[in-house]
Amino acid sequence: KPFQPEKKAAPAAAEPVKEEAAEKPTAPAPVAPTETRVPFEIDENDKTVQLLRLIVKGMNIEQCDIKGEKVEETSEIIYNVSCGDADGALIGRRGETLDSIQYLLRLSLNKGVDDDKHRKVSVNVGNYREKRNENLRALAAKSARQVLKYGRNAVLDPMNPYERRIIHTAIQGIEGVTSHSVGSDGNRKVVISLAEGVQPTHPSRGG
């Protein structure tokens, strides 16, 4: 008889393990949207290519290889730049330099062109965009798990519009959470919170 309480307590000890296992499917890693990219030969006389090379040369980078791709679904033109050891200088901190180069190209290419006729041009260096997008989707999934568990809002670091859109798209695919942006200009951040009516699995003390 003295040993009977110990036998009854065994199932209770296993309950937290079952509860943790049940949480994992609530915020799966978002799946990246598929797109079809078609390589094309770069025309050195193209205005965009000439400006891109001018910018790179202005950063004291002499040797640079440029390859082109077109996204069939959106007609977006992607210029993949490779400058060897100088790739990091083109990317900059968290891609800020790369974003600036891309902005200058778009501004020059679409100057004086009606909005509905704007050409979408993107610049990539060393597959940075793909790696950054993957990291952002992983960040969205991780933050969503924390929100679902503790119920506290997750406020991410400031991001540019493109990166915020990736976060918002990823959150849309995760049940139980929602997202919105706060702040202004370059200080806009994504806030991830519980969807209406959803209760956290492990609410923290004090709310």
8 pLDDT above the threshold of 60: no
Q: What is the pTM of this model?
A: 0.71
Among 56-70, 101-115, 131-145, 162-176, the minimum mean pLDDT is found in 101-115
pLDDT given at position 16: 44
pLDDT given at position 32: 53
Beta strands in the chain (DSSP E): 37-40, 65-71, 76-82, 121-125, 154-155, 177-182, 189-194
Structure tokens at 98: 């790369």
Average pLDDT over residues 84-103: 92
DSSP reduced 3-state for 195: coil
pLDDT given at position 116: 76
DSSP reduced 3-state for 111: coil
- Grade residue 102 by pLDDT with cuts at 50, 70 and 90: very high
Which residue has better confidence, 87 or 185?
Answer: 87
pLDDT given at position 33: 57
